[in-house]
Amino acid sequence: MIKHRRALSGVVVLAVVVAGEVVVGAAASASTGRDGVREVLERLTTVDGGPGALVRMDGRGGERVLTSGVADVASRAPVRGDSTFRIGSMTKMFVATTVLQLVGEGRVVLDAPVERYLPGVVRGPGGDGRVVTVRQLLQHTSGIPDYLDYLSVEDVLNNPLVHHDARDLVKLALAHPATGKEPGDAVRYSNTGYLLAGMLIEKVTGRSYGREIRRRVIEPLGLSRTYVPGDRSGIPGPHPRGYARVGQDVELLDITRINPTVAGAAGSMISNGADLNRFLGALVRGRLLRPAQLREMMRTRSSGGAAHGLGLDSYRLPCGGLYWGHDGGIPGFQTFGGATVDGRQATVMVNLYPGESAAQDGDTVAAVGAALCGRSVG
């Protein structure tokens, strides 16, 4: 959900627990494509400054979980392999899947204007619902500004339990100029588009986006540790504390409890590695969408080296080929997950966001790539 980063100084080097062994320090490699999973995990919890991390891997060879670091900097408790955590923008995959199921049922038309489903909602300098389409919301090509450009991370961290209404956040974004010459001209990441997608789901079905995700995705797949929390600020089940760094201070802020309505349909969900991998595998192998809608989801547009589909992005594997997935960031947690169409899935979690630098972003991606390639899992 939250993609903004600040240049933050200071590195706290933590002793990390990896598969029962205490390891101090990390050997950073110049070529992350050749790194093993264990090596990247150690880097996330030392060089990158994350308190703890985990990687869950599933595939034809079975399941495997590696953990590193601590779940709680005060108690020094290690990260549990079955940890539940906030997944940030990985929520977008669930929302897009729900919208595309409605497309398959003939209740939503991808290239119809948003106005058809949300009359009068998208109005202002930031966009016009009579021109912007549903597809453009899901692919970040609407030109509608990202509300997070006008709601700072510091505001969220200082007032973590405040309720945010999705309509108010949309109005905040639409009061500012559109980000492109016209809708569809380029990919420009906007969380606002997914708030609108959540509102669209509610308008079409008469139920909240959370209830529809539960009915259409969570329950059919048996995702017992996956939640759309609404206003609930806690995290159910065993979970690490979530931390953020504030300003130039190297001290960690415990931001475990947060009202996730600040993210809403753009990034509020909670899950764990096992559930996320099950979802990713089912999605890319056609268990959740009809073939026509899955093809639309996987039709990508490139932007800055990334390839964006409809709530699902494609990435190059370091061992060759492609995988599909999404990243996630919300105060306290950073996540990333991916799956191949031949049945491999991997999810990584770090209990720190925002962190110190872009290095953490790169290493979460490197961990998933190494896991999917089966590189030196230890």
Closest CA to 309 of 326, 288, 321: 326
Say how many CA atoms lie within 13 Å of 273 toward its Cβ.
27
- End-to-end CA distance of the chain: give it in Å, rounded: 32
Phi/psi of residue 15, nearest 5 degrees: -70, 135
User: How far is 132 from 265, CA to CA, in rounded Å?
Assistant: 19
Question: How distant, in Å, are the alpha carbons of 6, 106, 197, 215 from that of 109?
Answer: 39, 7, 13, 21
Report how far Cα 296 is from the mean position of its chain's Cα atoms: 20
Q: Provide the 10 A C-beta neighbour count for residue 186.
A: 14
User: How far is 7 from 355, CA to CA, in rounded Å?
Assistant: 9
Phi/psi of residue 80, nearest 5 degrees: -85, 145
Residue 23: its H or E element = strand 21-23
| Known active-site residue 89 | yes
89, 142, 190, 271: which is the annotated catalytic residue? 89
User: How far is 155 from 244, CA to CA, in rounded Å?
Assistant: 13
Query: Tokens 């070529």 appear where?
Result: 31
User: How far is 252 from 244, CA to CA, in rounded Å?
Assistant: 6
Strands (E), 275-377: 301-303, 306-308, 313-316, 322-330, 333-339, 345-350
User: Which residues are designated catalytic?
Assistant: 89
